[in-house]
Amino acid sequence: MIPIAKPLISDEEKRAVVEVLDSGMIASGSVVREFEKEFAAYIGTDACVTTTSGTTALEVGLRALGIGPGDKVLTTPFSFIASTNAIIYTGAEPVFGDVGRRTFNLTADSIERALKEDPSIRTVLIVHLFGQPCNMDKIMPVVEKYDLTLVEDCAQAHGAQWNGKMIGTFGKTGCFSFYPTKNMTTGEGGAIVTSDPDVAKNCSLLINHGMEVRYHHDRIGYNYRMTNLAAAIGRCQLKKLDEFNRIRIETAELYNREITNPLVEVPHVLPGAKHVFHQYTVKVSGGRREDFIEHLTENGVGHGIFYPLTIPEQKCYEGRNFASGSGVADILKNQVVSIPVHPSLSEADKETVVRVINDYK
């Protein structure tokens, strides 16, 4: 079976981890600080604060901006649930817009429509899903027109760009995940990037029990610190990220050229977007998705369905009566299938993926 994801870990990462183990400084320390500096420099922000996961990065990023009870945060209905859970953790209320049929991302039109219906919304949390940047040429004028606070969920978009500008630098904060299947990994971990010094300071306090001076707690915080072990892996992976992304993009371009089955719609890349293909997500309509994935499985091609439900309809949210405009998302959830695009694929793997998809009838 060709796997849907496979982290690329080399001897370099293993040596870096052993070096940390041998040092005895395993918890958060100097290796974390170096990784934060390097990641901030890569993204192009003044500061980076690392965390235990992409989820805690989102929560801390929101809290550092003062988001809490009484606030409403507009977001996408089509994403991993963490983007909404983080809003709920703060005590704020999520409100859902809708996504584009071809991009899977929150659209500027749906943002503006939601704002007109509820002017009390002051914050928007966008998700650059599957590695495709949101259309920032359309979203930023809406953000500026309504004086909104913009938060970017970049968990699937490490190194993605919009018109040459790094994703994660448009909003007040950009939040990343380093889960093993992401474009780069630290094992588990996350990061908040920002160029606002007050936000950066708040994030640093929040992840470390509200403590700037040891055992002096300025506010109630959390233990969301990244370890030196995780950061050691991250420093190695960051050096390889551009190459990992190059391979993903080349594989996606090959699929776009070679997948010719009219029953399968390949991903659309927006003009101006550098899509880094955390996932290569096709659409199979006409109620044929289950038959299609059975065909993939029978022929040894791994797959994933991201995501089979919209966020507002998840069981854990029953009774919350979320406001939702997720008409397009409700259609996409029954069509999407992601196929292997990770850098570990061999040329033979890619040829097999193309052949199997083109053979589907």
Q: Six-digit token pair at 95?
A: 């409100």
How far apart CA 119 and CA 150 sit, in angstroms, is: 15
Across the range 97-118, mean pLDDT stands at 97
Write the pLDDT tens digit of every residue in 58-99.
Answer: 999 999 999 999 999 999 999 999 999 999 999 999 999 999
Mean pLDDT across the chain: 97
pLDDT (0 to 100) of residue 324: 67
Q: Six-digit token pair at 124?
A: 């928007």
Q: Which residues contact 201 (CB under 8 A, 6 or more apart)?
A: none
Write the pLDDT tens digit of every residue in 204-262.
Answer: 999 999 999 999 999 999 999 999 999 999 999 999 999 999 999 999 999 999 999 99
Across the range 122-135, mean pLDDT stands at 98
Query: Which domains are assigned to the chain?
Result: 11-236 (3.40.640.10), 241-359 (3.90.1150.10)
Write the pLDDT tens digit of every residue in 268-279.
Answer: 999 999 999 999
How far apart CA 79 and CA 311 sit, in angstroms, is: 7
pLDDT of 146 higher than 70:
yes
Write the pLDDT tens digit of every residue in 4-27.
Answer: 999 999 999 999 999 999 999 999
How far apart CA 5 and CA 183 sit, in angstroms, is: 10
Using alpha carbons, list the distances in angstroms from residue 196 to 124, 164, 169, 241, 321. 17, 21, 11, 25, 35
pLDDT (0 to 100) of residue 323: 67
How far apart CA 278 and CA 235 sit, in angstroms, is: 19
pLDDT (0 to 100) of residue 64: 98
DSSP state of 225: P
Q: Strands 161-162 and 165-166: what pairing?
A: antiparallel
Q: 3-class DSSP state for residue 153? A: strand
Q: 3-class DSSP state for residue 308? A: coil
pLDDT (0 to 100) of residue 326: 74
Q: Six-digit token pair at 155?
A: 């968990």
pTM for the structure as a whole: 0.97
Across the range 151-160, mean pLDDT stands at 98
In contact, 132 and 150? CB cutoff 8 Å: no
Write the pLDDT tens digit of every residue in 200-214.
Answer: 999 999 999 999 999
Which position has the token pair 């809003």? 87
- Measured distance between the N- and C-terminal CA atoms of the chain, rounded to whole angstroms: 21
Write the pLDDT tens digit of every residue in 282-324.
Answer: 999 999 999 999 999 999 999 999 999 999 999 999 999 886 6
